[in-house]
Amino acid sequence: QQQVRQSPQSLTVWEGETAILNCSYEDSTFDYFPWYWQFPRESPALLIAIRPVSNKKEDGRFTIFFNKREKKLSLHITDSQPGDSATYFCAVDTNAYKVIFGKGTHLHVLP
């Protein structure tokens, strides 16, 4: 059972465009939704996170939009830069710190 689904699997945008990464989840009781990014040959690191009390969380060029009714969220990266090229993982805290990850979206930003 895949509790966290991400799409697309791979995304290519031009520098300056907005990249949109999608995530959906199964259980409406999940209450913490972090996004992690991972650069080649490095370990994942926390990028930004949201709780269901909010429908939007912004940090610079990175914004999470959250739709609790549809159990969907998306990560928008505005003014994409080549240095944003990485794999982005949507994750959920399913129950008392059991953190589950999606399969990831590979983002390529072309100069």
Partner 1 sequence: EAAVTQSPRNKVAVTGGKVTLSCNQTNNHNNMYWYRQDTGHGLRLIHYSYGAGSTEKGDIPDGYKASRPSQENFSLILELATPSQTSVYFCASGPGQGDERLFFGHGTKLSVL
Per CB under 8 A, which region of 14-22, 40-48, 64-72, 77-85 contacts partner 1?
A: 40-48
Interface residue with partner 1, options 26, 32, 61, 71 (CB under 8 A): 32
CA–CA distance, 75 with 63 (Å, rounded to integer): 6
Residue 40 engages partner 1 in binding (rule: CB under 8 A)? no
CA–CA distance, 41 with 44 (Å, rounded to integer): 10
Q: Which is nearer to partner 1, 2 or 18 (CB)?
A: 2
Long-range contacts for 62-67 (Cβ within 8 Å, ≥24 apart)? 62/35, 64/33, 64/35, 66/33
Give the x/- contact pattern for partner 1 in 52-71, rule: CB under 8 A. Answer: --------------------
Which regions of 45-104 does DSSP assign to beta strands (E)?
Answer: 45-50, 56-59, 62-67, 72-77, 86-95, 98-101
Residue 98 engages partner 1 in binding (rule: CB under 8 A)? yes
Interface residue with partner 1, options 43, 53, 60, 111 (CB under 8 A): 43
Radius of gyration of the chain (CA): 13
Contact set with partner 1 (CB under 8 A): 6, 32, 34, 36, 42-46, 49, 89, 93, 96-104
